[in-house]
Structure 1
C-alpha cells in the first residue's frame, strides 16, 4: 500500500507538504506541486477516502434513499440529483428500498456509518419507525414526494400536485367530457392525496361530483392501472374519460381499454401525470401533466449542497409548477376540427418557494 511518506520520499518534500497538496489545505509552490503530483502518478497513490472523511468530518458524499430506481419517474429524479452532485464535486450513494420498512431503516444506518454529509429521501410509503429514526438523525435532509414537515434542518421539494390535477381535469372538461374516472394512488401517498383534492375541486367548480365507483385506487404501477380499468369496465357503462395519477397507471389502463374493444381516444380519453419519455411514443401519444422531474432532483441536491458548502439554511418547502402537455389521447370537442398536437407544454413551469417567495434558487436547465 502506497502511503503519504512514500510520495514524500519520491518527490523530495516533507509528508506535511504532500498532505497540503493532496487536501488543498495550504498554498504550495507550483513547482513543488508538480513534483508531488508526478510522484503520486508514478507510485499510483490513492488517498484513503475514509481516513480523509474522519479527519475533515466531510466525505463529500450525499446519500439517497428511493423506493424503486427502475421506475422511469424515479430514474429521472436520480439523474437530476446525480448530475448536480457531480458538477459540484460530490458523490451520490444510492439505496433502493422497495418501500420495505426494514430496508429503509437498514439503509439509513448504513449511510450514517458511511459518513455521508447529507440525505435525500424519496419513498412513497414510510413506516413510523423509519420516520422517527429520520427525525433523530443529525444530517441535513431533503425530502421528496413527502408532506411538509416541521423538522429541524429538513427541506421538502415537490411539484404542485393540486395545480397539476386541476390542469388535467380542466382540459378534459374543455373537450366536453364530464363522466371522468379518477385512477388514484394509495391514500397514504402524499402526492396522490393532493392530486385527488385538486381533481375533485376542479370537478366541483364545474358542478360535478363523481360517484365513488368512478374513483379507483391503484398501486401507481402499470398493472395497477390495468386492474383498475378492468374494474371500471365491469360496471354498467365505461367512463368517457379518465385521469390517471401517473403515466404508468395510464399506460396500464389504456391496454385494458383496448383489450375491452374500446377505441382511444374516441371511446375513452386519457390524461396521465409525470410526462415520462415512453408516453410520447404510445399510440395514441399520451396527453399528460408534465412534472419537471429532472429539475426537482437538481433542486433537491442544490438545496443540500448550498447548506453544506455555505451554511445556507434549508428552505422548509420548495415547489415547482407542473404544466399540461397536449398530445393525442384526448378527443377533440365535438364539432371541432382535428388539429395536430405538437406535444409541448402549454405553459412554462416556474419555481415557487412557499416560505420564501424571493428565494434565489432556480431549477437546473430543462432536460
Structure 2
C-alpha cells in the first residue's frame, strides 16, 4: 500500500507539504504542488480520507505516554510539556504503561479513536513499526528515548556520550575496577548507557568484567539488590556507575548496610539529576539531563505537526552536564 511518506520521498518534500497539497490548506509553491501531484499520480496514492476527517475534530488534548510514573525524572519532562500545552490551550492526558508492552500498544488506539490531537511518547519500547505507521496519519513525537532509523521527530540527549563521560570521570579518579548497574536492556537508552560505559573502559585499556555488570530496572530496589551482589564478589569494584539516580541511591544504601561508606570506600555516580540527588547523603555526582527542555521542545515539535508546519530535521539532541558532588573520590585501593 502506498503511503503519504512514499509520496513525500518521491516528490522530495515533507509529509506535511504533501498533506497541505491534498487538503488544499496552507501556502505551497506552484512548482512544489505540481511535483506532489505528479508523485501522487505516478504512485496511484489514495489519501486516507477518514484519518484526515478525524484530524479535523480537535479535542485540545495531548496524550503523553510515560514508562513509569513513579520515576521522578519524568515529572520535569511533563512540566516542560505542560508549559507549552497550557500556553496553546491544550490539556494533558497521561498514560502510565508501567513498562508493559501490552499497555503501551493499547494507548496507541486512543489516538486512532481521536481521543487526543497528538501524542508524545517518553518510551520507545512499543513496536516501532506500529508507531511509524500511526505517525503517518497522526502527530507523534518521541522524547527521551528514540527509535533507530525512524523519521518520527525525536528529542533526546546523547546517552552513549553522556555515559562515556561519567565513566571517564571515575577512571580519571584512578578507579579501574568499575561496576555498572544498567536499566532494563530492552530499553534503547539502557543499552546506549551500557555502550558508553564499555567504550570508556576500552578507551582506557580497562578490563570489562561481566561480573561487574548487573541489569537493574531503574528502581531503588534494583539498585540496592544489584549492589549487594557486586559487594559479594571476591574482588568487588571500587566505583559504581548506576544508569539512573534512583538505582544509585539504592546502591549507596546497600554499601552503607554493609558497614562501608561513600565515597571513602566506594564511589557512586548516577544519571538524570533528579531533585533528590542534591539533598541525598552524600549528595550524588550525576549526569544532569535537561528534562524540562526535553519536554518543552517535544511539545513545540508536536504543535508544529498538529499545525502541519514543516520540520527541517527529525532528531534533536540536547546537551547534558556532569554535576560533580560528594559521592565520588579518588581510588585508594590497588587496581
Q: Structure 1 length normalisation: TM-score?
A: 0.71
Equivalent position SS for 1:142:
strand
Aligned residue in 2 for 1:105? 105
Describe the superposition over 1:158-209 as per-residue Cα deviations: whole angstroms up to 9, x where unpaired.
1111121122112112211121111112221111111111111111111112
Cα distance in 1 between the residues matched to 2:60 and 2:167: 44
Tell me how far 1:273 sits from its aligned partner.
0.3
Tell me how far 1:333 sits from its aligned partner.
6.6
Matched, 1:283 2:242: no
Judge conservation of contact 2:55–2:117 (CA < 8 Å) in 1: no
Q: For this pair of structures, how many residues does the alignment match? A: 278
CA shift in 2, pair 1:280/1:57, >3 Å? same
Matched, 1:227 2:200: no
Q: Unpaired runs of 5+ in structure 2? A: 1-52
Whichever of the two has the greater Rg, that structure is 1
CA shift in 2, pair 1:299/1:55, >3 Å? closer
Describe the superposition over 1:82-114 as per-residue Cα deviations: whole angstroms up to 9, x where unpaired.
111112222221111112233223322123324
Aligned residue in 1 for 2:215? 217
Aligned residue in 2 for 1:245? 243
Cα distance in 2 between the residues matched to 1:81 and 1:155: 15
1:298 to 273, 296, 299: 296
Cα distance in 1 between the residues matched to 2:132 and 2:319: 28
CA RMSD in angstroms, aligned pairs only: 2.0
Tell me how far 1:325 sits from its aligned partner.
0.2
Equivalent position SS for 1:75:
helix
Describe the superposition over 1:25-78 as per-residue Cα deviations: whole angstroms up to 9, x where unpaired.
xxxxxxxxxxxxxxxxxxxxxxxxxxxx97953233221111122210112111
Q: Unpaired runs of 5+ in structure 1? A: 1-52, 335-367
Judge conservation of contact 2:227–2:255 (CA < 8 Å) in 1: yes
Tell me how far 1:150 sits from its aligned partner.
4.1
Relative contact order higher in (CA < 8 Å, ≥ 6 apart)? 2
1:279-358 matches, cutoff 5 A: 279-309=277-307, 311-313=309-311, 315-332=313-330
